[in-house]
Structures are given as C-alpha cells and as structure tokens.
Structure 1
Amino acid sequence: MFFLWPEFVWLMLALPLLPLAYVWLLRRRRKTAVRYSNIAVVTAAAAGRHWRRHVPPALLLLALGALLFASARPMARIPLPWARTTIMLAIDVSLSMRVADVKPTRMEAAQEAAKLFLRDLPKNVEVGLVTFAGSTQVAQQATLDRASLVAAIEGFQMQRGTAVGNAIVMSLSELFPDHGIDVGDMTFGGGGSRRPSRSLDDKARQPKQITPVKPGSYNTAAIILLSDGRRTVGIDTLAAAKMAADRGVRIYVVGLGVVNGAAEMPEGMSIYMQLDETTLKEVARMTGGEYHHAGTAEKLRDVYGTLGSSVQVQTRETELTGLIALLAALLAITAAGLSVVWFGRIG
C-alpha cells in the first residue's frame, strides 16, 4: 500500500489525543455532578459508567480515524474486475470443423462451449466475435447483448482454408480501431489486382506507429482463439501474434481435434488435418496467454470455463479513499443512531 498524499498521514498522530480528551471530559463531568445534591443528576452521572455510554464515542473516534486515513488517499493492489473488459472470440469455421472426433462435431461442440462461456461470463464484459477460414470477418462487434452473440454463433457458415493470422489481426483491429490496422492491406500488400482501388483519403490513412509494451500488460482486453488446424492462407500467424504482444494483448489459444494424424469427414472422404500445436503454443507464449488442447466436447467446455475466470479478475492499483470514507460515514451514522436509541439525544 502507498499514499498519493503521504503528507496527510501525519494527521493520524492526532488520534491518540481524542481518547485522552474523552477521558478528561468524563472526569470533569463526574466532578461537576458531585457538587449537586440532586439525586437525579448523580444517578445520571453514575449511568455514564455503563458500557453502552462509551460505544457511540468509540464509533465516532473510529470514523474520525478512517477520515484522516482516507485524506492521505491510500492506494493498494487488489484483485478486482475491470469496469470495462472486452473479449474477442476468434473461432475457426473451416470445413475441417465438421469432423466428428469431438462429438457431435467439432463445430457443434465449439458452438455449445462458446454459448456456455457467454452464459457464465459477468454481464458487464463486452464480447466480440470473429470467424475465420479462408477469409475473416467480424460476425459480431463487441457488445453486452448476449442474445446477438448467441445468434451469431448459431449462424456460422463454414468455408475452405484457415487464416489464423488474419483472425488475430482482425481481432486487434476491433480492439484498437484508431490504430489503422487493415487486414486486407496486410494480406495483399496494400494494392495489386486483388485489391480494389482506394481513394486518396484511404491512401493517406496509414497504420499508427506504436511503442511496444510488455506482453500481457493490456488488461482491459483479451483474445480467445479456437482453431483445429494450421494456417493455409493469409498473414503469418507469429507475425500477427507479435502485433498482439506489442500491444500487450494476451491470446488464450484452444487447440481442438487431432494433434497428429488423419480424421474422417462426414462424407467418408479422408482429409489430413494436423493441429499445428507448436505454432499455437508459441502464440500463447509470445503474448503472455495460455494454450489448452481440447480433445473432447467436455474438455472444451472446461477450457472455456477456465478462460472465463482467468481473463476477468485482474490485480490492479486501486484508490481506497471512497471506500474508507464510506466506512467512516457508516460508523458516524451508527454512532448517532445508537446515541438516539439509548439516550434519546446525540452526544
């Protein structure tokens, strides 16, 4: 713990004077009561020895101490959910996701796990959805509307190819809209016959130059990447991961399906699909995230549950002034309330 205004900590030295002043007042009151012959006054003075008589002043003393402590503006590192957190779900929708080695199929298992993940996630967390195969698109921009996200998850359309790097870059472009990240320019080199001509305004819009930060240090956002294969088209996966690492964004990777070998397509046609675990693990390592292999539907659900908790709670420096001031107010109100209930007055 540290203080933004440490010079105010010296005010705490005044606290021991308050109990001394209270004891002095009690003794002075007893001496005054002895001077009178009125029995009622003496009885009232004797009642001051009752333990309840000291509770309201003690609470008021604690309230004053809390206010003096709060005046120094204490800061502490405590685990708290961020007021605004954004999670980008990047899900592979390539044709290999139709394979049934994860029941009922990889795609259906991934869809159900993603919906359970959304259900268990705190309501104040924004979630965006990116789908990728040969091409990449934002299926749903970051939103708090869980119904829209579920509808987007249920409407996946599978395609050929696997552009893992594009999915990462597309997620970053959603998280940092002012950085000028253009997936098309990175994929096709900013021009050529495969790109439509651009206006002068588009040509003037250059990617923002950033100063790299520590990987994993950007705690208000994260990317969860699910893939069952290896990159076949698009931006290099590790180059995309480097972009995320430079911005401090963690990538949590879920590898799904066959690690080594072949699998059967529903039509009976064999297709060789080897999960590129080496690259996916490196993506997680570079960005300060985690890699999980989910070989079954149940394991996939467990992985999503783990990710839901790990990307939520973050340790951060938080000012405690407001909380301590609120505690002081409650103590003062309690002291006044007890004084009124027990003695019919405040004092």
Structure 2
Amino acid sequence: MHFLWPQLLWLLWAVPLLVLGYVWLLRSRRQPVLRYAHVALVRQAMLPGGAWRRHLPPALLLAALAMLLFASARPQAALPLPTDQATVMLAVDVSLSMQADDIKPSRLDAAREAAKAFVRQLPAGARVGVVSFAGTAQVVQPPTYSREKLLAAIDALHLQHGTAMGSGIVAALSELFPNEALDLGEAAFLPLTAHAPRATPKPVPARRETDAEPAATIVLLTDGRSNFGVHPLQAADMAAARGVRIHAVGLGTVEAPGADQDDWSMVLQLDEAMLREVTGIAHGDYFRAGSAESLLQVYEKMGARLQVQMRETELSGPLALGALLLMAGAALLSLLWCQRVA
C-alpha cells in the first residue's frame, strides 16, 4: 500500500488527542453529574452494560474520524479485480521432440488441444496471439479477438529443428509492444550453451499507454531446453522490465526416451530449473504437465487466473463510505440509548 498524499497522515495524531480530551472531559464532569444527576442518566447507568453503551457512540465517531483522515491521504493498493480485457501471447515449442508420444497422441497434438480449450475459455474481451519457436521464432497469429483465426493458427503449428525459447519470448514481446524495435535477427541462429552469459538488457524506451493492453501475459509451453537464440533469462528480463508476466508449462518428463527422427534417437530433457527461473524473473508461475489431462487442467487454471488482474486501486471511496456508516451508527445508537445525538 502507498499514499498519494502521505503528508496528511500526520493528521491521525488528532485521534489520540481527542481520546485524551474525551477521558479528561468525563473525569471533569463526574462530580457535577453525580450532584445533579438526571433521572434518565441514572436509569441508563443502572442498566446491564450501561457503561459501555455510553462510550460506544463516541468511540464509533472517533473510528469514523480516523477512517476519514486515513482516506484523505488517498491510500492505494494492488487488489485482485475481475477483468475481461487482457492480451495473452501463447508461445508454443514446435521442436522435433514435440512429436514424442509419451503424451497421447503426441505432445504437439496434446498441446494443440489444450491451447484451443484455453482460447475458448478466455472472455470475449481478451486478445490472444500465437508464437511458435524451434530453431527460430515466428508470429503465427498477431493478437486478435477472433477465436476462429486463433484456432486455425493453433492447428497450423508444425515441427521444426532446435529450441529457441528466449527468441519465442522476444517475438511475443514484439507483438505486445509494436512500437519498440525488438529485433531477433542477430541472435536467432546463435548456439546457446547451458552456462552462456546473460547480456545486459537494453534500457526500455518510454512506454505509451497504447503500446500494450493493461494485462499482458505470455504463456510459454515447452518440453525441452533452449539451445538457440536469445538467452531465456535475458528474454525474461526484457519481459519483467515491461511489466509482462510469463507463465510456463513444462510438458513431458524430465528425461524421457525420444522419438526416432531419421534413424537417430533424441533424448528429451525438460529444463525445469530454467523455466522456474524464467517465471521467477517475470513474476509468473511454473506448471508441470505429464499427461494430456494434466495439461488441460493447467491451462484451465491459467485461464481462471488471467481473468483476475491485480490493479492499483484507490481506497479513499470505500474508507469514506465506511466512515459515514460508522457515523450513522453512532447517531442511531445515541438516539436509541441516550435520547440524544452523540
């Protein structure tokens, strides 16, 4: 939580001062009240709970004043609010290992069906785009509201050599931020070792409100480890710098026998450590899917999460309303119990 006008919080010191003043006033009135006691006051004091009844209306008024003073500082907090507007980029691994059949009928077919179910689940106000990546990354479908175009784009995914995970992320970012020059040309074919150094991210240009939707998310699906293109951690840095979350789905087993391709056998190694680090940098979540059913469940969970967006919300209005309710309650109780307004 933060405040737009934090200097006004100093006014809250008035509340304990008023409490002290109220206590002093009660003590100063004690003797005169006992000497010239009103019959109604005596009867009220003799009732069960009469003492706390007498103090409750002023206490409610003090609480209302504290809420109003707190609201005057204009507090803001990030609250989960439902939304039907978001931009989601599906980044799908189409490397040759996706033809493995440990997930029936194949990893790619299971990914297609889960992605299509995910698209159908999203609200109509959500824009969705599709990026595929293998040795290079390409935008299969720019962000669109058309579910027909998206389903056709998902069906059109086909296998290629290599796994350029980071390039897939950058290609998705290029669609989310079309006004930025995010070029993959220099890095698209560079081999990537497991310990390759991360390049220092370039400064992010000043962003305009029209550059991307308020809720921009990349959903990454892969079954292996990156061996071409932009370093995934560098790409995650770029996404985090632009406020884009990355959710990742690891498909298949950590190490499983691969599919034969041209008389050679691939060993499929799911780099979960890298995926966890990518999602950690980009403030997303990592999911593991070892079957077609679990993959559908993962996409269902992500779809539900994407329909709730954390938004900076000013709390002054609700606090002021709460203060008014407290004041109304104090006045009502005072009239009922004391035949006067506190």
Once the two structures are TM-superposed, the CA of residue 44 in structure 1 deviates from its matched residue by 2.8
- The count of aligned residue pairs is 305
Match of 1:324 in 2: 319
TM-score (norm 1): 0.62
Structure 1, unmatched stretches of 5+, are: 37-41, 189-208, 214-218
Once the two structures are TM-superposed, the CA of residue 172 in structure 1 deviates from its matched residue by 0.5
Q: Specify whether residues 168 and 151 from structure 1 end up closer, same or farther in structure 2 by C-alpha distance, changes over 3 A only.
A: closer
TM-score (norm 2): 0.63
Q: Specify whether residues 116 and 330 from structure 1 end up closer, same or farther in structure 2 by C-alpha distance, changes over 3 A only.
A: farther
Alpha-carbon distance in structure 1 between the residues aligned to 2:18 and 2:79? 35
- Aligned pairs for 1:93-242 (under 5 A) are 93=94, 97=98, 99-114=100-115, 126=126, 128-132=128-132, 136-139=138-141, 141=143, 148=147, 152=151, 156-161=155-160, 164=164, 165-181=166-182, 210-211=202-203, 221-228=216-223, 236-239=228-231, 242=234
Match of 1:335 in 2: 330
1:152 partner amino acid = L
Over the matched positions of the two proteins, sequence identity in percent amounts to 41
Match of 1:8 in 2: 8
Q: Specify whether residues 155 and 13 from structure 1 end up closer, same or farther in structure 2 by C-alpha distance, changes over 3 A only.
A: closer
Alpha-carbon contact 2:88-2:143 (below 8 Å) kept:
no
2:238 partner amino acid = D
Alpha-carbon contact 1:12-1:68 (below 8 Å) kept:
yes
Once the two structures are TM-superposed, the CA of residue 74 in structure 1 deviates from its matched residue by 5.0
Structure 2, unmatched stretches of 5+, are: 190-200, 206-213
Once the two structures are TM-superposed, the CA of residue 237 in structure 1 deviates from its matched residue by 3.1
Alpha-carbon contact 2:131-2:172 (below 8 Å) kept:
no
2:268 is the alignment partner of 1:275: yes
2:58 is the alignment partner of 1:57: yes
Match of 2:237 in 1: 245
Alpha-carbon contact 2:115-2:154 (below 8 Å) kept:
no
Once the two structures are TM-superposed, the CA of residue 328 in structure 1 deviates from its matched residue by 2.0
2:69 partner amino acid = L
Match of 1:66 in 2: 67
For residues 36-76 of structure 1, the C-alpha deviation after alignment (integer angstroms, 9 at most, x for no partner) is 9xxxxx33333553344433222111101222233344567
CA RMSD of aligned residues (A): 5.0
2:179 partner amino acid = D
Match of 1:45 in 2: 41
Alpha-carbon contact 1:88-1:224 (below 8 Å) kept:
yes
Once the two structures are TM-superposed, the CA of residue 299 in structure 1 deviates from its matched residue by 3.8
Match of 2:251 in 1: 256
Once the two structures are TM-superposed, the CA of residue 225 in structure 1 deviates from its matched residue by 1.4
Alpha-carbon contact 1:256-1:294 (below 8 Å) kept:
yes
Alpha-carbon contact 1:85-1:220 (below 8 Å) kept:
yes
Once the two structures are TM-superposed, the CA of residue 244 in structure 1 deviates from its matched residue by 4.0
Q: Specify whether residues 119 and 161 from structure 1 end up closer, same or farther in structure 2 by C-alpha distance, changes over 3 A only.
A: closer
For residues 212-255 of structure 1, the C-alpha deviation after alignment (integer angstroms, 9 at most, x for no partner) is 69xxxxx95442211346779xxx43346524423425544334
